Amino acid sequence: MESTCSRTFNMGDEAILAANLALLKRHPEIRSIVLTPNPKATSLLHRTETFPSFYSLIKSRNRFLKIIQCVLIAGKLLFNAHRIAQGKDPIGLSQEERRFLELFAKADAFLIVGSGIIRSSALFFDGNASGLFPKCLEILLAKKLKKPIFLGAQTIGPFDRSIVGFLSSLFVCFSLKCADFVSVRDYISYSTLRKWGVYCVLLPDDSFQVSKISRKKAIQLLKNEGIDLEAIKREKKFLVGVSFRAWGNLQKRVKIRIFLERLLGSLATSGNFYFLFIPTMGSWKIPQRMTVAEKYFLKKLPRNCCGFVKGPYSWREIKAFWSLMDLALVVSFHSGVFAFSSGVPALGFYEKKYYQMKLGGLFSMMNQRKFLINVNREPLEHALYKVQRILEEKEQFKKKICQRAHYLRKRCCLATRKLLQSLL
């Protein structure tokens, strides 16, 4: 039997994929094929069979031509999926397109896990991976070929108020109604789909399920980078993890960066804090990007209270680094997941609707919504008060968070479990 996972390419999605593959690999009779823009790397990383995703069929480098090519290839694939469903041979396809469609035709089920790319701001492409249109196309292809379709812990939206946003929301609504099971990971997505008449369930992100390396090994990895957490703890300093995302490009997420810069500067004056900047992207570009961030923040903060994780680590290693912290300051979704699932209290920061959805869903699910901060509205004093409160009641917070995370882990990967029920 075959199940097909479709995915994008970042650390959070790697963790989600790992959690779901672990379930599928328990059943040797299930053959799992992962659709990915980088089959060789994914195969080596996850020790699984891979296949080029729809994104790989788009050859043009010009953005406008890529969109045209995407639409034309989608039309050919849907037309030929209809022919295959009628018992006819496909026509007018390139060899790559034919192989891609044949994979769908041979599969017994189709599974989409991870990512928040079904939104109008990623209409065709999201970085080096598929966007809304290609992802919904895959759902429609699977439906046309009469395959069961399962979506796990998605973020759906936001959709802007333009005509493009309206039309894309209609397309998503139509596509999701073709699925056999849909789960989402935030309340806004849940209420949106229910309003559209799409049945869905609210579930935690599957990366709650992933394991981490040992504490001893994580401490040693950081020591290899010149960050001696044991020595810092002997100085009775609070360890604060700060999530790093796009600060290698200082033109992005300016408001959040400035807010955190002021917050860290205020905390640093006491001399009781050590800030560890932890990346959320597992890429060879991390050392280069972190160096840019290091130069910037060391102009604002004392050198002896800052550390920068520069190695391109795996999700298991990054999760272990978060588990060593007393407090997490997060601007990305999976930094929050890694912290909470390790029992670490967190403050979340956002400035736009997309991260309001994702982080809002996570913090609400953890019963920590009051520790989510809109940097456009809330004053710095509110954040300082919340940091103080968490650290004063650290043990109580850790206990509540551990209990909640334990409950949520039991509800992870439900889409994969549903798929297995349908196949076995």
Cα-Cα-Cα-Cα torsion 330, 333, 336, 337, nearest 10 degrees, comes to -170
> What pLDDT score was predicted for residue 296?
81
Question: Can you give the pLDDT at residue 248?
Answer: 54
pLDDT of residue 2: 46
pLDDT of residue 36: 86
Phi/psi at 315 (5° precision): -60, -35
- Does residue 151 or residue 42 have the better pLDDT? 151
State yes or no: pLDDT of 6 exceeds 50.
Answer: no
Mean pLDDT of 130-139: 91
Report pLDDT digits (tens) over 231-288. 999 999 999 999 876 555 556 778 888 899 999 999 999 999 999 999 876 554 555 6
pLDDT at 4: 46
Average pLDDT estimate for 163-190: 96
Q: How confident is the model at residue 116 (pLDDT cuts 50, 70, 90)?
A: confident
The number of residues making up the chain comes to: 424
- Do the beta carbons of residue 172 and residue 119 sit within 8 Å? no
* Among candidate residues 331, 336, 310, 158, the one with its CA nearest the CA of residue 253: 331
pLDDT value at 373 more than 60? yes
With cut-offs at 50, 70 and 90, classify the pLDDT of residue 7: very low
For residue range 195-230, list pLDDT tens digits in order: 999 999 999 999 999 999 999 999 999 999 999 999
Residue 149: predicted pLDDT? 97
Cβ proximity of 379 and 207 under 8 Å:
no
Average pLDDT in the chain: 90
Alpha-carbon gap, residue 128 to 130, rounded angstroms: 7
Q: Which of 3, 5, 277, 241 is nearest to 115 (CA)?
A: 5
Sorted by where each starts, the structural domains of the chain and their CATH numbers stand as: 2-203 (3.40.50.11930), 215-408 (3.40.50.2000)
**Residue 30: band (very low, low, confident or very high) from pLDDT cuts 50, 70, 90:** very high
- Three-state SS across the chain? CEEEEECCCCHHHHHHHHHHHHHHCCCCCCEEEEEECCHHHHHHHHCCEEEECHHHHCCCCCHHHHHHHHHHHHHHHHHHHHHHHCCCCCCCCCHHHHHHHHHHHHCCEEEEECCCCECHHHCCEECCEECHHHHHHHHHHHHHCCCCEEEEEECECCCCCCHHHHHHHHHHHHHHCCCCEEEECCHHHHHHHHHHCCCCEECCCHHHHCCCCCHHHHHHHHHHCCCCHHHHHHCCCEEEEEEECCCCCCCCCHHHHHHHHHHHHHHHCCCCEEEEEEECCCCCCHHHHHHHHHHHHCCCCCHHHEEECCCCCCHHHHHHHHHCCCEEEECCHHHHHHHHHCCCCEEEEECCHHHHHHHHHHHHHCCCHHHEEECCCCCHHHHHHHHHHHHHCHHHHHHHHHHHHHHHHCCCCHHHHHHHHHHC
Q: How would you class 243 by CB atoms within 10 Å of its CB: exposed for 0-12, middle for 13-18, buried for 19 or more?
A: buried
pTM of the predicted model over 0.85: yes
Residue 389: pLDDT over 90: yes
Tell me: the pLDDT tens digits for 290-305?
777 788 888 888 989 9
Distance CA 138, CA 144 (A): 10
Ranges 35-49, 160-174, 243-257, 321-335: which has the least confidence: 243-257
Q: Name 350's Cβ contacts closer than 8 Å, sequence gap at least 6.
A: 256, 331, 356, 359, 360, 372, 373, 374, 375
% of the chain residues with pLDDT over 90: 75
Task: Give the pLDDT band (50/70/90) at residue 37.
Answer: confident
Give residue 11's pLDDT: 81
Q: Which pLDDT score is estimated for 60?
A: 86
Q: State yes or no: pLDDT of 5 exceeds 60.
A: no
Residue 49 burial (CB count, 10 A)? 13
